[in-house]
């Protein structure tokens, strides 16, 4: 089947004069998750993983994916004739090296410019130039081949009322236009779905785990245009747009509109974040207008949660904390007594969240990893591949929900029975790391790079480390991974480090330790940045816990903790008990009392 | 007297068509300390502080200096007609603002381009341009006015033998030329005195507290030219230069040489660090040659001390530790019993250092600050202004020596009798901060910005801070402040942050707390960066203590320390005792035992 699809693709490539066709895993907006419509790589390769790029030539094809998917991809690519390229393994070329190596003089490189970032596209241009060929970027070759391709999902759009958003679109547009004025820009283009949803206070369900709408936006000093699936807007939402002077236009008209606008007004100054846009938009903008390439002002604005959002987040996390703590009670009570798998446990947890009417959907696919699976950082149980949960070892659960009052992200590792001394020490280290970071008090101006060591240093002292950031920003009923705030000891390549912690930013605090083949521990709270005292030394900042779920004391070796860490843990548990107790009774309340007891 | 000098200067300015003349505190090499010859600002203003810039116009003059010198400058400027500009105070313009404000249309701005950095000069160019005037930079107007001006100091140059330097000039030149090749540069110019001294393994005494020689260097792929005071080179040193294929040229020929070279060979690619050169050199280089503007490769090379330097540093610090610990014994035994002032105590400490034949000179002017003077970060006792030391409160001593085996920098705060509870808590916080940072274990790739919070965070937790970096790199028989390594929570403006800790880097660890009008505490060790374990998580790094002097336990409240901090302190004191004991006997040995006792 795959071979047949590829042979049709190759015919289309010949037709289009494309000698090497690149199919990444992306939508037109560089979203972290993509909807079915965009799963072209899966269609042509059979590989179902969430990350990977397919490069197709007339006589060969190669799929590039990372370590998480080596085994799965090898299995799924069997018989397809596609070579698996294990990224990062010795001797394996990078995708760009492979393309350069395979493309012959005079041959052309092709891709749908909408699913390739501007930066990637420019790199491909250079390769094509070297080969004296062209880059052909204006066609999606899946069209006409993939017959049962799902429709682009334009789910019903709803307005996030001011009781949830805390700021009107009018006010947000005003602030954005002030920034545009500062930058001397007449026009601003947004293609990132969370920025658009935040700015217009709109939400939908067009992308898995992200309550956003497929859309583009163009904002001028007076006008605002929203390019989206018109069918998804009912009268009420249309009236709301009208009242806010936002003109709705068809999703597909966006590129033509941009091309015409820049043609009509070549003296325009355009504010756009080139790192965030796709290659096609970059080409449509062209070279005639003056581009002010800066981070989207909305990115920082939405990272700073307003007072209403902060208050709502406390509510969302309370609902979430009740669900996760009841899950903890259920898990520890029933493990070894009733059948339980990674999948059934995750489903049970989801059902507890879903009991709350404010719950919309999971904020990302739950990672429910038992035993050695906990060591796989991006583990995902599937119906074909999952573990039974037994009354020993540890279960790591990283999950979250979207509520009308905001989004949550929490990880707890639960002790299900006997654990080794090493596991207990690793659990204790992880708890210490999480606690130390969340207790930070620091001067205004600090970034994640200043604070990361408070968590990570606990592991470094023991010659250990975790190969991920200590924490990321979280959107408000938006993407669970949101910039610019994060805790990292090295900036991510290409990230904008021109920020500092501000009151209202929400960041996860999630150190962990992963021992291949044995176990993994991660403990994650969300932290709301707050102003602390202001004195002659300056404005101090601190964090407020947004997550209210006990840390499993069965994993703690109190003798391996500093006094200050024990104080922090006890205070946290006292706080969790006070928050949750009103919602617990009977044996659940007894459990909560025990789970939040003071340790010495 | 000052008015007479200024009136001569104004006549010279009229002659030179200069309407505003700028006199900073600098030599031609942007050195931290300057020799008498360069004290032009002091000559024309009467202000003797180490930092400040004088701007002279026909009808007025203004001296810009910072908070350290407000009182002193006000006193010294009395009757001079010069206005004191208190930098950083509300309503006080910056120097550049002042110049722009005072300069009238068509007027010219003047300075000696050799004492102004390239960056400052370019900023002045812009001001002159706005005013439709010129920048006149090729004259030192002090010439012809300052009759008793000291000669340029060209003190005898000596070769630092390989037993001290650990690497031959041949090898250093080879490494430098490899870097030049990497950068595709044919020629490299060095004007920073420590880079030149390090590269050629030469030392002299041309700058206070810095054993360097006034010089410039030009390095090509085959040749090396040293522009210096020829009279300072004896036959032996000349033979050494000859053997290393280094051509000695007159100091004054440098600018002409550069101008002629770039004229002769406009296709040259020149590697030069524009941040480190003066404006005159920038003008002589001009625009015709291609400039590769990067950090001097020697800066990183010399920051990484080789094995011989490391071993020598341990010896230098042992000599230094013996002197400072004997000073501590003397101080605590005699305070309140014999007359003692900040000046006599500093002199006594210097005499102890000088007992060692390897001692060359102090590595910087000793800060010996009693009581409330300790709160003044850059305090300096003068014969006119000093305090008696009494048997109460605290004495902070920040000092160091240049030895043939390297340079030292150490601060200890000594308890001289009764102290308040606040002082004790502040002393304990400072010790905790110093100890936490020095115990850091971290992954390769970390910079100062990652680690600073280990020290500073201890203060932040209490709503306190210190307004200086936590530590700086230290040269090897060179500048006591040396880049690129440092501990800071924010990069210094203009600093090159493109570095990470490497084995062999030496950095001070010197947190402190300063309470105006009351007291100051600073405790400083030097740390040698070392490789720690290398495992599946990567290469870990740690620090070795180079400083061997007890931390005054009379200031420590053990109950306010974490267990791990007490362990670190006890281990450090055990190590200090083992190092020093062989050199102590009688009551000094008894004192050492007591001063390094274990605390619980």
Q: Does B532 touch chain A (CB under 8 A)?
A: yes
Q: Which residues of A406-423 are buried (b: 16+ CB within 10 A; e: fewer)?
A: bbbbbbbbbbbeebeeeb
Q: What pLDDT score was predicted for residue A521?
A: 98
ipTM above 0.85, yes or no: yes
B100 Cα to chain A: minimum distance (Å):
25
A513 Cα to chain B: minimum distance (Å):
11
Q: Are residues A365 and A286 in the same domain?
A: no
Q: Is residue B142 part of a domain?
A: no
Distances in Å between the alpha carbon of B577 and those of A321, B399, B547? 54, 21, 12
The answer to whether residues B340 and B327 touch, using CB atoms and an 8 Å cutoff, is: no
Nearest to B562 among A445, A450, A564 (CB): A564
SS (H, E, C) A566-582: HHHHHHHHHHHHHHHHH
Which residue would you say has higher pLDDT here, B90 or A307? A307
Which of B446, B501, B558, B566 has the most A C-beta neighbours within 10 Å, making it the best mutation to test the interface with A?
A: B446
B69 Cα to chain A: minimum distance (Å):
21
Range of the domain at B537: 304-595
B502 Cα to chain A: minimum distance (Å):
16
**A48 Rama sector, left if φ>0, alpha if ψ -120 to 50, beta otherwise:** alpha
Q: Which tokens hold the place of A440?
A: 């930070």
Q: What pLDDT score was predicted for residue B222?
A: 94
Q: Is residue A578 part of a domain?
A: no
For B540, nearest residue in chain A (alpha carbons): A463
Across the range B315-339, mean pLDDT stands at 98
Q: Are residues B118 and B208 in the same domain?
A: no
Q: Domain ends where: B89, B106, B136?
A: B136
Which of B429, B440, B453 has the most A C-beta neighbours within 10 Å, making it the best mutation to test the interface with A?
A: B453
SS (H, E, C) A26-81: CCCCCCCCCCHHHCHHHHHHCCCCCCCEEEEECCCEEEEECHHHHHHHHHHCCCCC
Q: Does B538 touch chain A (CB under 8 A)?
A: yes
Q: Does B489 touch chain A (CB under 8 A)?
A: yes
Q: What pLDDT score was predicted for residue A323?
A: 98
Q: What pLDDT score was predicted for residue B385?
A: 85
A449 Cα to chain B: minimum distance (Å):
6
Tell me the chain B residues in contact with residue A460 when contact means C-beta distances shorter than 8 Å. 440-443, 540
Q: Is residue B36 part of a domain?
A: yes
Rounded to the nearest 10°, the torsion over CA B332, B334, B336, B340 is -100
Nearest to A449 among B450, B457, B535 (CB): B450
Nearest to B562 among A442, A457, A563 (CB): A563
Q: Are residues A265 and A355 in the same domain?
A: no
Q: Is residue B228 part of a domain?
A: yes
Mean pLDDT in chain A? Answer: 95
Nearest to A453 among B454, B463, B465 (CB): B454
pLDDT of A4 strictly over 90:
yes
d(CA A593, CA A588): 9
Which residue would you say has higher pLDDT here, B227 or A492? B227
Tell me the chain B residues in contact with residue A540 when contact means C-beta distances shorter than 8 Å. 460, 463
pLDDT of B161 strictly over 90:
yes
Condensed to tens digits (0 to 9), the pLDDT of residues B128-141 reads 999 999 999 999 99
Q: Are residues A186 and A129 in the same domain?
A: no
Q: Which tokens hold the place of A514?
A: 């992963």
d(CA A318, CA A297): 31
B460 to A489: CB separation less than 8 angstroms, yes or no: no
Mean pLDDT in chain B? Answer: 96
Work out the percent of chain A whose per-residue pLDDT is above 70.
100
B80: Cβ contacts below 8 Å, ≥ 6 apart: B2, B3, B6, B45, B46, B61
Burial class (CB in 10 A: 0-12, 13-18, 19+), A88: exposed
B537 Cα to chain A: minimum distance (Å):
6
Distances in Å between the alpha carbon of A54 and those of A8, A62, A91, B486? 15, 6, 19, 46
pLDDT of A494 strictly over 80:
no
Residue B77's pLDDT band, with cuts at 50, 70 and 90, is very high
Condensed to tens digits (0 to 9), the pLDDT of residues B551-597 reads 999 999 999 999 999 999 999 999 999 999 999 999 999 999 999 99
Condensed to tens digits (0 to 9), the pLDDT of residues A27-74 reads 999 998 888 999 999 999 999 988 899 999 999 999 999 887 888 899
Beta bridge partners of residue B425, listed in sequence order: none
B463 to A532: CB separation less than 8 angstroms, yes or no: yes
pLDDT of B414 strictly over 80:
yes
Task: Provide φ and ψ at A247, rounded to 5°.
Answer: -95, 125
Q: Is residue A149 part of a domain?
A: no
A557 Cα to chain B: minimum distance (Å):
16
B494: Cβ contacts below 8 Å, ≥ 6 apart: B119, B275
Tell me, what CATH number does B374's domain have?
3.90.230.10
Rounded to the nearest 10°, the torsion over CA B444, B448, B453, B459 is 150
Q: Does A491 touch chain B (CB under 8 A)?
A: no
Work out the percent of chain A whose per-residue pLDDT is above 90.
91
Q: Does B559 touch chain A (CB under 8 A)?
A: no
Q: Is residue A144 part of a domain?
A: no
Q: Are residues B283 and B318 in the same domain?
A: no
Q: Does A129 touch chain B (CB under 8 A)?
A: no
Residue A414's pLDDT band, with cuts at 50, 70 and 90, is very high
Q: Domain ends where: A301, A335, A352?
A: A301
For B539, nearest residue in chain A (alpha carbons): A463
Place of tokens 């993407």: A479
Q: What pLDDT score was predicted for residue A378?
A: 81
pLDDT of A321 strictly over 90:
yes
Residue B177 DSSP code: H
Residue B591 DSSP code: H
Q: Are residues B251 and B321 in the same domain?
A: no
Across the range B155-163, mean pLDDT stands at 96
d(CA A378, CA A368): 10
Pairing of strands B215-220, B224-228: antiparallel
Nearest to B450 among A452, A532, A563 (CB): A452
Q: Which tokens hold the place of A240?
A: 């709301």
Q: Which tokens hold the place of A355?
A: 């009991």
Residue A134's pLDDT band, with cuts at 50, 70 and 90, is very high
Across the range A199-207, mean pLDDT stands at 96
Q: Give the helix/strand (H/E) hosting A203.
A: strand A202-203
Q: Are residues A318 and A454 in the same domain?
A: yes
Give the count of Cβ contacts less than 8 A between chain A and B: 75
Q: Are residues A188 and A269 in the same domain?
A: yes
Q: What pLDDT score was predicted for residue B32?
A: 87
d(CA B186, CA B349): 49
Nearest to B563 among A460, A537, A562 (CB): A562
Across the range A258-279, mean pLDDT stands at 93
For B450, nearest residue in chain A (alpha carbons): A450
d(CA B426, CA B509): 17
A449 to B454: CB separation less than 8 angstroms, yes or no: no
Q: Domain ends where: B250, B266, B294?
A: B294
SS3 call for B189: strand
Which of A443, A458, A561 has the most B C-beta neighbours within 10 Å, making it the best mutation to test the interface with B?
A: A443
What's the domain count of chain A? 3
Place of tokens 């994650």: A524
Q: Give the helix/strand (H/E) hosting B126.
A: helix B118-130
Q: Are residues B462 and B567 in the same domain?
A: yes
Q: Are residues A195 and A219 in the same domain?
A: yes
The answer to whether residues B448 and B471 touch, using CB atoms and an 8 Å cutoff, is: yes
d(CA B440, CA B457): 13
B453 Cα to chain A: minimum distance (Å):
7
Which of B450, B462, B490, B542 has the most A C-beta neighbours within 10 Å, making it the best mutation to test the interface with A?
A: B450
Chain center to CA of B38: 17
A449 to B453: CB separation less than 8 angstroms, yes or no: no
pLDDT of A497 strictly over 90:
no
Nearest to A463 among B440, B445, B540 (CB): B540
Work out the percent of chain B whose per-residue pLDDT is above 90.
91
Q: Are residues A122 and A170 in the same domain?
A: no
d(CA B199, CA B300): 12
Chain center to CA of A374: 20
pLDDT of B260 strictly over 90:
yes
pLDDT of B92 strictly over 90:
yes
Would you tell me which residues 385-444 of chain A have a C-beta closer than 8 angstroms to some C-beta of chain B? Answer: 440-443
B107 Cα to chain A: minimum distance (Å):
33
For the entire predicted model, the pTM comes to 0.93
B162 Cα to chain A: minimum distance (Å):
36
Beta bridge partners of residue A246, listed in sequence order: A224
Residue A377's pLDDT band, with cuts at 50, 70 and 90, is confident
Residue B382's pLDDT band, with cuts at 50, 70 and 90, is confident
Q: Are residues A339 and A486 in the same domain?
A: yes
Q: Is residue B392 part of a domain?
A: yes
Across the range B308-334, mean pLDDT stands at 98
Which residue would you say has higher pLDDT here, A549 or A50? A549
Which of B457, B513, B536 has the most A C-beta neighbours within 10 Å, making it the best mutation to test the interface with A?
A: B457
Q: Is residue A446 part of a domain?
A: yes
B449 to A450: CB separation less than 8 angstroms, yes or no: yes
How many residues in total does chain B contain? 600
Rounded to the nearest 10°, the torsion over CA A434, A436, A441, A447 is -60
Beta bridge partners of residue B528, listed in sequence order: B506, B544
Across the range B302-322, mean pLDDT stands at 98
Condensed to tens digits (0 to 9), the pLDDT of residues B209-258 reads 999 999 999 999 999 999 999 999 999 999 999 999 999 999 999 999 99
For B453, nearest residue in chain A (alpha carbons): A450
Condensed to tens digits (0 to 9), the pLDDT of residues A396-412 reads 999 999 999 999 999 99
Distances in Å between the alpha carbon of B427 and those of A123, B414, B513, B595? 57, 10, 8, 16
Q: What pLDDT score was predicted for residue A379?
A: 86
Across the range A105-123, mean pLDDT stands at 96
Q: Nearest to residue B472, comparing CAs of B561, B395, B364?
A: B364
Q: What pLDDT score was predicted for residue B162?
A: 95
Distances in Å between the alpha carbon of A165 and those of A157, A173, B12? 15, 14, 68
Nearest to B445 among A461, A490, A533 (CB): A490
pLDDT of B427 strictly over 90:
yes
Condensed to tens digits (0 to 9), the pLDDT of residues B431-448 reads 999 999 999 999 999 999
d(CA A402, CA A353): 10
Beta bridge partners of residue B136, listed in sequence order: B110
Tell me, what CATH number does A208's domain have?
3.40.350.10
């Amino acid at each position: 089947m795959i071979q047949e699809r590829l042979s049709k693709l190759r015919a289309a490539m010949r037709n289009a004069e494309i000698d090497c066709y690149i199919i990444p895993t992306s939508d037109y907006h560089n979203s972290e998750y993509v909807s079915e419509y965009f799963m072209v790589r899966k269609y042509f390769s059979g590989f179902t993983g969430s990350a990977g790029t397919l490069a197709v030539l007339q006589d060969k094809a190669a799929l590039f994916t990372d370590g998480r998917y080596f085994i799965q991809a090898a299995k799924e690519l069997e018989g397809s004739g596609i070579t698996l390229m294990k990224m990062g393994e010795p001797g394996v070329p990078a995708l760009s090296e492979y393309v350069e190596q395979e493309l012959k003089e005079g041959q052309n490189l092709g891709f749908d410019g909408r699913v390739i970032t501007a930066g990637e596209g420019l790199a491909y241009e250079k390769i094509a130039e070297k080969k004296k060929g062209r880059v052909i970027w204006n066609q999606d070759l899946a069209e006409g081949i993939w017959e049962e391709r799902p429709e682009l999902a334009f789910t019903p759009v709803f307005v996030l009322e001011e009781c949830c958003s805390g700021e009107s679109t009018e006010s947000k547009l005003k602030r954005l236009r002030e920034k545009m004025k500062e930058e001397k820009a007449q026009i601003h283009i947004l293609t990132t779905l969370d920025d658009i949803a935040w700015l217009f206070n709109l939400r939908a369900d067009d992308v898995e785990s992200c309550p956003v709408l497929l859309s583009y936006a163009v904002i001028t000093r007076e006008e605002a245009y929203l390019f989206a699936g018109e069918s998804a807007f009912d009268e009420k939402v249309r009236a709301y747009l009208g009242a806010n002077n936002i003109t709705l236009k068809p999703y597909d008209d966006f590129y033509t509109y941009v091309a015409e606008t820049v043609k009509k007004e070549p003296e325009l100054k355009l504010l756009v974040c080139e790192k965030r846009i796709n290659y096609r938009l970059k080409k449509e903008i062209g070279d005639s207008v003056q581009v002010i390439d800066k981070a989207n002002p909305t990115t920082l604005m939405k990272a700073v949660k307003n007072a209403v959002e902060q208050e709502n987040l406390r509510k969302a996390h309370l609902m979430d904390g009740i669900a996760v703590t009841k899950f903890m009670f259920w898990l520890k009570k029933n493990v070894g007594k009733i059948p339980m798998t990674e999948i059934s446990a995750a489903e049970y947890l989801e059902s507890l969240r879903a009991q709350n009417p404010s719950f919309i959907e999971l904020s990302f696919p739950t990672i429910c990893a038992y035993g050695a699976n906990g060591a796989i950082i991006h583990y995902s149980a599937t119906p074909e591949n999952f573990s039974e949960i037994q009354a020993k070892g540890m279960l790591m659960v990283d999950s979250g929900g979207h509520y009308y009052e905001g989004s949550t992200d929490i990880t707890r590792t639960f002790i299900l029975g006997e654990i080794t001394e090493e596991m207990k020490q690793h659990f204790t280290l992880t708890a210490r790391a999480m606690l130390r970071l969340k207790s930070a008090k620091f001067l205004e101006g600090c970034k994640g790079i200043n604070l990361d060591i408070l968590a990570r240093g606990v592991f470094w002292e023991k010659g250990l480390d975790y190969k991920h950031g200590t924490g990321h920003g979280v959107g408000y009923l938006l993407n669970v991974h949101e910039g610019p705030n994060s805790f990292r000891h090295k900036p991510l390549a290409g990230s904008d480090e021109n920020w500092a912690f501000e009151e209202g930013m929400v960041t996860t605090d999630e150190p962990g330790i992963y021992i291949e083949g044995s176990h993994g521990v991660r403990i994650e709270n969300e932290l709301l940045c707050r102003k602390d005292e202001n004195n002659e030394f300056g404005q101090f900042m601190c964090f407020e816990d947004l997550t209210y779920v006990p840390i499993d004391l069965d994993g703690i070796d109190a003798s391996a903790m500093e006094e200050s860490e024990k104080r922090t843990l006890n205070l946290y548990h006292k706080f969790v008990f006070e928050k949750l107790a009103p919602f617990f009774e009977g044996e659940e309340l007894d459990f909560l009392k025990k789970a939040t007891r003071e340790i010495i």
